[in-house]
Amino acid sequence: MSEKARTIELEVLRYRPEQDSEPLWQRYTVPFTEDMSVLQALQHIKDDIDGTLSFRWSCRMAICGSCGMMINGKPELSCQTFLRDLLPGPVRVEALAHFPIERDLVVSVDGFVKKLEGIQPYIVPKVPRTLEEGEYLQTPAQLAMYEPFSGCINCMLCYAACPQFGLNPDFTGPGVLALLHRYNADSRDGAREQRMATVNAEEGVWSCTAVGYCSEVCPKHVDPAHAVNQNKVNSAKDYFLRWLKPAAAAPSKAGDQP
Amino acid sequence: MAMERFKADVVIVGAGGAGLRAAIAVAEADPRLSVALVSKVYPMRSHTVAAEGGAAAVTQAHDSLEAHFHDTVAGGDWLCEQDVVDFFVEQAHRELVQMEHWGCPWSRMDDGHVNVRAFGGMKIERTWFAADKTGFHMLHTLFQTSIKYPSIRRFDEHFCVDLIIDDGQAQGVLAIDIASGRFTLIQAKAVIIATGGAGRVFRENTNGGIVTGDGMALAYRHGVPLRDMEFVQYHPTCMPGTGLLFTEACRGEGGFLLNKDGYRYLQDYGLGPAEPTPRNKAMELGPRDRLSQAYWHEKQKGRTIDGPHGPVVHLDLRHLGERKLRERLPQIYELAVEYLGVDPAKAPIPVLPAVHYTMGGIVADGRTASSMPGLYSVGECSSVGIHGANRLGSNSLTELLVFGKVAGQEAAARASAVAHGDDAALTALAERSREQALAVVEHGARGTERIATLRREMAQTMEEGCGIYRTGATMQATCDKLAELKQRYRKVHLDDGSRVWNTEWLLAIELGYLLDVAQAMAHSALQRRESRGSHQRLDGYEQRDDLNFLQHSLATHAGDDAPRISYGPVKITRSPPGTRAYGAAGEKAEAERHAQEDKHV
């Protein structure tokens, strides 16, 4: 209770396209408490020091995926990153790497969402079933095949961590490939063949150079690197199957899933 | 700056669970109808994402629609629309199966069927869950499924500043494209509001920053009453300081609530007897209003534990063991470790009640239609009538689905039957709304009142006047304070005069929404001279008064004056108001109810 009035410095990379020709650093001093997150520090700046600082946030509990940013050079959720772990400061905060900055800490999400929309991120039933017939049966083991990859909160930290995405913005990238794998690995789904086109494409899994930093920064332990690797195996199998029996990989045939 | 224009058949404001489900329903009803889906965030950021515990539907052979009906109506202290509750419990299971077909990763039993868990106030286990991230999985499943439908055109990160009402009918909305600051008029033949709750009017709450009552305030300003706004749910187990949520499923899985003596204090508040394993509708599985009230009494008795953010009680999960906690409550485990430094397998979690849910909302009939032609509402922003004076946990996620679908179908039917309004008239109205929105930023530089100061004072006075227990004097003080804040709001100050990503501008507009909703809550509360559900008074109105207050309150906007409060009937079909009892007393009351019913048969 009787904590002395301590403070900590934040250096924030500012960019306001209506007035700045290039980004510039701005320094703020904020109160420090043991339980304060970087997000709370930014909120303090916005509320009480400088209302012009722009950033996205909402849930405060690492589930909405809004508040990703670079904190001391590392992609993090600002709500889940605590000032106590960054002492003595200053704490350097900037927009997520590899994305165009719209303003201050706000980056463009459009490219990511377009990629997500492009992979058929929904169940295409392998066996149609009416609602009257009830739910599909899915054992805990079948659930475990895809559930870990369904936990992606679309925070895009893995893209900021991915050197290949930094070089080639067209790379489908870890998060979306993990989501693609989530649907391909779902026992209810029958569209694996169609999605393999994305996997096999030049911007698909083969752009990945297996650095693995994406999985390290994932705040939800989704392990996109593992999803990408599994799809490299699938893609290679797909490639050889095309040579061996070209019809097997055609979308018109039923998939080869167990 | 020119205004963009888009013509849709149906416009939906809000793209959380309710808005997405409604959009899909329109697309499925008629793929030729165009849908504009407007959200101030990307859909997957919507606050549905934070719901943890689950979604209710009668599932097991020994359960019944009647039991779900009765739990809901009694849980709502008989302020529910009983015909609407009937429809809700009937449709619930089908909608959850639909979510399963769309890919929602529901937790399963060994035989592959969907598993269910116990939840507060529910007699039988009927809550479907996806670990402790049910809302997250439902939201992402709905968002990803919505991508299938080409007729749904999303306006992501578009902030709605007004409804466009002409000829007494809802005919569109005006929105700011946040990234550019440009305005878009979206004309439509039907408007669905799905903007969620308003928990941010309170200080300590479980809600995301975006939960600012936008749609409620917009409908209210256009003359649509807000119903039952005095009923605000405190969730009993939240994180001190931030208010972040520890799901009721912690108790559904067997967690205990302990006071400073390590005593399961709920047994002192008519919820006992205390047993080592969870018993439905008893102890820790009592309803949220009763549990939050019990905390308050423990605090008065000095039996809480002092923490850095005030008095707390303990949520004890240790006896469940690490393995079960990791499987069933993985997010809770991480929140406790990362945010509090508490390993819940080894130590109890400090918790206290925080504002969680707005039971009331935009007045809606059982088919989601408001009092204004063309305007529908669904989800937490809506008062369709199933929650009454206290919502049961896991009813609201199902509500999004059941009534999201209804709203979509109703809006589609209207859009097929009526024509677009007059372009020139709608443009003129939109221009006027645009001027008002621009005035906020243009006058902001000359303003003297800081947004955050006004917001903090509002949240503080709401907590003081409209908290777990209320008195006439404190509620009156809150009403007076809110009137003062509304005056000061006219002089709100902005540092930022820009257009691109000017979030301070949006915060200022949101503060206006919050203040209007806060007034509706405080005045509705002051006028209700009884205690019912989450509205509990200490000043001579400690009892439920069915003679005078078995009625819905209706708050009507009155310009600069305080809202007008009137009352409307509650639809009672077959469950007359009875004793609301839990634990052993509840079982006795239920046996008596059955005996009564048998006599009538």
Q: How confident is the model at residue A246 (pLDDT cuts 50, 70, 90)?
A: low
Asked whether residue B574 is domain-assigned, the answer is: no
- Nearest CA-CA partner of B514 in B459, B586, B571, B582: B459
Residues B139 and B228 in one domain: yes
CA–CA distance, A117 with A176 (Å, rounded to integer): 9
Asked whether residue B334 is domain-assigned, the answer is: yes
pLDDT digit string, tens, across residues A88-120: 999 999 999 999 999 999 999 999 999 999 999
CA–CA distance, B471 with A243 (Å, rounded to integer): 79
The pLDDT of residue B74 is 97
- Cβ distance B208 to A103 less than 8 Å, yes or no, reads no
Tell me: pLDDT of B383 over 50. yes
Residues B218 and B345 in one domain: no
One-letter amino acid for residue A18 of the chain: E
User: What's B368's domain CATH number?
Assistant: 3.50.50.60
User: What's B245's domain CATH number?
Assistant: 3.90.700.10
Three-class SS state of B431: helix
Residues B108 and B130 in one domain: yes
pLDDT digit string, tens, across residues A199-214: 888 888 888 988 899 9
Asked whether residue B583 is domain-assigned, the answer is: no
- Cβ distance A47 to B452 less than 8 Å, yes or no, reads yes
Q: Which of A49, A53, A61, A222 to mutate to test the interface with B (most CBs of B within 10 A)?
A: A61
Domain encompassing residue B446: 429-560
* Helices first, then strands: H and E counts in chain A: 9, 7
CA–CA distance, A93 with A30 (Å, rounded to integer): 14
CA–CA distance, B597 with B397 (Å, rounded to integer): 31
Residues B462 and B378 in one domain: no
CA–CA distance, B525 with B29 (Å, rounded to integer): 40
CATH superfamily to which A110-249 belongs: Alpha-helical ferredoxin (1.10.1060.10)
- Nearest CA-CA partner of A61 in B50, B585, B226: B50
CB atoms within 10 A of CB B491: 13
Interface check A251 vs B, CB under 8 A: no
What does the domain layout of chain A look like in residue ranges? Answer: 6-107, 110-249
Residues B272 and B127 in one domain: no
B-chain residues near A146 (CB < 8 A): 105
- The mean pLDDT of B502-515, rounded to a whole number, is 98
Residues B486 and B367 in one domain: no
Q: Find the angle CA(A54)-CA(A60)-CA(A61) to the nearest 5 degrees.
A: 145
Residues B286 and B187 in one domain: no
C-alpha distances out from residue B259 to B247, B253, B268, B368, Å: 19, 20, 12, 43
On whether the CB atoms of residues B529 and B538 are closer than 8 A, the answer is no
B-chain residues near A16 (CB < 8 A): 498, 500
- How far is residue B501 CA from its own chain's centroid? 28
Asked whether residue B380 is domain-assigned, the answer is: yes
- The mean pLDDT of A56-71, rounded to a whole number, is 98
A-chain residues near B242 (CB < 8 A): 60
Q: How confident is the model at residue A240 (pLDDT cuts 50, 70, 90)?
A: confident
CA–CA distance, A211 with A158 (Å, rounded to integer): 11
Domain final residue, candidates B325, B355, B385: B355
Residues B394 and B299 in one domain: no
Three-class SS state of B185: strand
Asked whether residue B596 is domain-assigned, the answer is: no
A88 or A248, which is more confident: A88
Residues B147 and B214 in one domain: yes
**DSSP single-letter state for residue B223:** T
Average pLDDT of chain A is: 92
Interface check A242 vs B, CB under 8 A: no
| Run of H or E including A131 | none
Nearest-by-CA chain B residue for A137: B112
Residues B122 and B38 in one domain: yes
Residues 32-51 of B with CB under 8 A from A: 41-42, 44-47, 49-50
Q: How confident is the model at residue B154 (pLDDT cuts 50, 70, 90)?
A: very high
Asked whether residue B496 is domain-assigned, the answer is: yes
- The mean pLDDT of A48-75, rounded to a whole number, is 98
Residues B364 and B335 in one domain: no
Domain final residue, candidates B390, B424, B458: B424
Active-site choice (B251, B470, B528, B557): B251
Q: Which of A82, A104, A135 to mutate to test the interface with B (most CBs of B within 10 A)?
A: A135
The pLDDT of residue B99 is 98
Residues B341 and B377 in one domain: no
| Run of H or E including B82 | helix B82-101
User: Which two tokens mark A222?
Assistant: 């989704």
- B235 noted as active-site residue: yes
CA–CA distance, B54 with B252 (Å, rounded to integer): 11
CA–CA distance, B112 with A141 (Å, rounded to integer): 9
pLDDT digit string, tens, across residues B36-78: 999 999 999 999 999 999 999 999 999 999 999 999 999 999 9
On whether the CB atoms of residues B231 and B465 are closer than 8 A, the answer is no
**Can you list the positions of beta strands (E) in B366-434?**
375-377, 382-383
- Cβ distance A52 to B339 less than 8 Å, yes or no, reads no
CA–CA distance, B371 with B352 (Å, rounded to integer): 38
- Cβ distance B49 to A122 less than 8 Å, yes or no, reads no
User: What's B525's domain CATH number?
Assistant: 1.20.58.100
Q: How confident is the model at residue A248 (pLDDT cuts 50, 70, 90)?
A: very low
B272 CA to chain A: closest CA distance, Å? Answer: 33
Nearest-by-CA chain A residue for B97: A135
B-chain residues near A64 (CB < 8 A): 41, 44-47, 49-50, 208
On whether the CB atoms of residues B493 and B448 are closer than 8 A, the answer is yes
Tell me: pLDDT of A250 over 60. no
- Cβ distance A150 to B242 less than 8 Å, yes or no, reads no
CA–CA distance, A76 with A157 (Å, rounded to integer): 7
CA–CA distance, B524 with B230 (Å, rounded to integer): 5
The pLDDT of residue B234 is 97
Give the full edge-to-edge strand order of the sheet including B361-363. Answer: B382-383, B361-363, B226-227, B551-556, B564-569
- B117 noted as active-site residue: no
Sign of CA dihedral B186, B191, B194, B197: positive
Q: How confident is the model at residue B3 (pLDDT cuts 50, 70, 90)?
A: very high
| Run of H or E including B152 | strand B152-155
What percentage of chain B reaches a pLDDT higher than 70? 100
CA–CA distance, B483 with B488 (Å, rounded to integer): 9
Count of structural domains, chain B: 3
Nearest-by-CA chain B residue for A45: B452
CA–CA distance, B241 with A177 (Å, rounded to integer): 38
CA–CA distance, B580 with B76 (Å, rounded to integer): 9
Asked whether residue B196 is domain-assigned, the answer is: yes
- Cβ distance B244 to A122 less than 8 Å, yes or no, reads no
- How far is residue B241 CA from its own chain's centroid? 21
> Please, what CATH class does the domain formed by A6-107 belong to?
alpha beta
User: Which two tokens mark B555?
Assistant: 């708050």
- Nearest CA-CA partner of B378 in B410, B415, B407: B407
pLDDT digit string, tens, across residues B198-229: 999 999 999 999 999 999 999 999 999 999 99
Asked whether residue B565 is domain-assigned, the answer is: no
- How far is residue B500 CA from its own chain's centroid? 31
Instruction: Tell how strand B551-556 and strand B564-569 pair up.
Output: antiparallel
